[in-house]
Amino acid sequence: MVKISTIKKSISLEYDVFARPTDLSAADQELYEIAAAALPESYSPYSRFQVAAAARLENGEVVSACNTENAAYPMCLCAERAALAAAASRQPTAKVVAMAITVKSPSQVLAEPASPCGACRQVLAEHEQRHGHRMRIILRAEVGPFYVLDSAADLLPLGFSSDFL
């Protein structure tokens, strides 16, 4: 009889859950408030799903952006990538050290954070790798808890990176 040996591995994710905005650090609370204030600027006439992201640069400056949709649906731009692009156009070599992301659904009051799509996870993780710096991710829906992750890479276990090229 042939014995097949397998190795089972697991990857775990740790993140902090905070019940109230005041439980966050003052800087993270401010970042979340800037994202929440930007939500109405979302251009989302097709999905009506609003997303806003506020990115804090290394020097403390904050840049925010929203999702921008297009009648040719695949052209839709997510808020997270728009915020990274806005940060890079402000300061091409700037490290984004934290990003707050918030969402508003047209059909339900979301009480648990929505986390970034796969494409945004890839781009956020590469921003970290490129700059050799972790980006704290602060997630919140319209109401409910805040999830705070130490690093964008935590959102993309076994992700693809330039190390493979």
Catalytic site positions:
80
Nearer to ligand THU, 13 or 75 (CB): 75
Please check whether residue 35 is in contact with residue 102, taking contact to mean a CB–CB distance below 8 angstroms. Answer: yes
Nearer to ligand THU, 18 or 49 (CB): 49
Minimum Å gap between C-beta 6 and ligand THU is 34
Nearer to ligand THU, 59 or 66 (CB): 66
Minimum Å gap between C-beta 67 and ligand THU is 3
Please check whether residue 52 is in contact with residue 36, taking contact to mean a CB–CB distance below 8 angstroms. Answer: yes
Strands 136-140 and 96-104, sheet pairing: parallel
Task: Give 116's DSSP letter.
Answer: P
Minimum Å gap between C-beta 47 and ligand THU is 4
Nearer to ligand THU, 37 or 58 (CB): 37
Minimum Å gap between C-beta 2 and ligand THU is 46
Going by C-beta distance under 8 Å and a sequence separation of 6 or more, which residues neighbour residue 135?
95, 96, 97, 98, 99, 124, 127, 128, 151, 152
Mapped onto helix, strand or coil, the DSSP state of residue 120 is: helix
List of residues contacting ligand THU (CB under 6 A): 44, 47, 49, 51, 67, 69, 76, 78-80, 116-117, 120
| Ramachandran class of 76: left when φ > 0, alpha when ψ lies in -120 to 50, beta otherwise | beta
